[in-house]
Structure 1
């Protein structure tokens, strides 16, 4: 068993994922971005930090909501992701987003600069989650809002449990203890993280962002387009094809007349800085 992935591991993984991250099968990312805007309700003309922006889905959604007088600073540790985000932003003809390669746990912004800080499906990749939230709190104005999203334990089930259990049974060298999204255990844990970072008015709720995929091949696209790919790659190369066939045979059994239901139950958590 190995320890949690390092920052370098995460950077290299997302550099590899950047060309395929905007897959139609993973459209829950832009779905979540739109819901996050409605959840935060940023005021037009304000400044927002998007931590771990990835290919920019959240940055684009907030930039559109803020209007030309507002500004989004979008950061990521992966140059590959930022390159893809820049291409997406150009395609949308948006000019109120600034992209920066930056560690979300060590920000290069002055204190009290932003009206809002948001992070979609990124907090659980950071080694010190409370420390990161404290750093995000530092750059918020008094009364500013911080919000993040993460997956509920039901998300991607039953496919995800079969994926993880089958990997382990075939000798994949998986991290010790809870890893990835499972590092955030519940809605209560979301509120505890925010409270421990010194934030107030904590809140958390679940929203279903799921949809039907066409079949098990779409599910494999989800696997290979997201951080699940890193777990698959921990399997010895000689066993990967057998794993893929066996796992997809299980997934095919979950199909119905509407296709393959993919649960994407998502936690939305928020808090404010003290006035």
Structure 2
């Protein structure tokens, strides 16, 4: 969870700019399609449902959900990035999908009607929320009786990024990748505290492979520009350089025969709105 004292508009602008830049290559990532499929499976979609997709990006969840719920159902898909939504619009048009409404905006402050959705889904965006618990409470209000929420969050381990997060925490800097919902217990507590009964919380190992040492070291430069690492990137240059050097030393120490094992795990949590008889 991000520090609430940080300027929200600056952070949201940074996030939108980052994903604008990534829009044309975002679908080349191997992890996000796997996550979207898992979240869709956990969401228990049926024809005729109304679905809200938070942080839709290039529309993976929205497009998949659109086909499963059919023309009698509807999807509202929200994202901060106009360029990501351009990609989503294009894909929806190419597939002749007409039951999706794309909205550019901030899902944490947008006003939507209470009890208007059967499902609220969030894939690959949960750690970008300013306040995950507050967001879940809002999503609960937007759900109809018996409605279901499904979201994913980085688990343990989370590849080479876990090394960065571990070092950061030793310096008193707690990043959302390692604090928001990195264990099933945290996911369960978030669901319960926001008015949901947990239906399923699964730990998914999405990737396990050996990385060449140079590739593992290059993770630093890729991660430090991601909005979820904003608190680390804001540090004074000298302090940040010291943390980077610690990171390099740990990665090199973990290397065997010039390679480092990287395992990426995700938690996928599904909850049903409390107080509903099924």
User: Per the shorter chain, which TM-score range?
Assistant: 0.7 to 0.9
Contact 1:48–1:117 (8 Å) recurs in 2: yes
Question: Which position in structure 2 is the counterpart of 1:20?
Answer: 22
Alignment map for 1:224-263 (pairs within 5 Å): 226-227=226-227, 230=230, 233-234=233-234, 251=251, 261-263=261-263
Structure 1 match to 2:155:
152
What is the Cα deviation at residue 192 of structure 1? 1.5
2:42 alignment partner, one of 39, 44, 69: 39
Number of residues of Structure 1 aligned to a counterpart in Structure 2: 267
1:173-230 Cα offsets, whole Å, 9 max, x none, are x8x6533232224212211111111222443121111144764448638536743564
Instruction: Provide the C-alpha distance between the structure 2 equivalents of 1:161 and 1:209, rounded to a whole number of angstroms.
Output: 15
Asked whether the 8 Å contact 2:167–2:247 carries over to 1, the reply is yes
Distance 2:271 2:246 in 1: 43
Preserved contact between residue 77 and residue 102 of structure 2 (Cα < 8 Å):
yes
2:70 is matched with 67
Q: TM-score normalized by structure 1?
A: 0.77
**Number of the residue aligned with 1:11:** 12
Any idea what SS the aligned residue of 2:156 has? coil
Q: Does 1:178 align with 2:180?
A: no
Query: 5+ unaligned residues in a row in structure 1: which ranges?
Result: none
Query: Could you say what the CA RMSD is over the residues aligned between the two structures, in angstroms?
Result: 3.6
Contact 1:15–1:81 (CA under 8 A) maintained in structure 2: no
**More strand by percentage:** 2
Are the structure 2 counterparts of residues 93 and 9 from structure 1 closer, same or farther at C-alpha, using a change threshold of 3 Å? farther
Question: Is 1:199 paired with 2:173?
Answer: no
SS in 2 for 1:54: coil
Tell me the CA shift for residue 266 of structure 1: 0.9
Note closer, same or farther for the CA distance 1:146–1:217 as it changes in structure 2 (3 Å cut).
same
SS in 2 for 1:263: strand
Query: Residue 31 and residue 93 in structure 1: after superposition, are their counterparts in 2 closer, same or farther (change >3 A)?
Result: farther
Q: Contact (CA 8 Å) 2:161, 2:223: kept in 1 or not?
A: no
Q: 1:214 to 1:98 in 2, by over 3 A?
A: farther
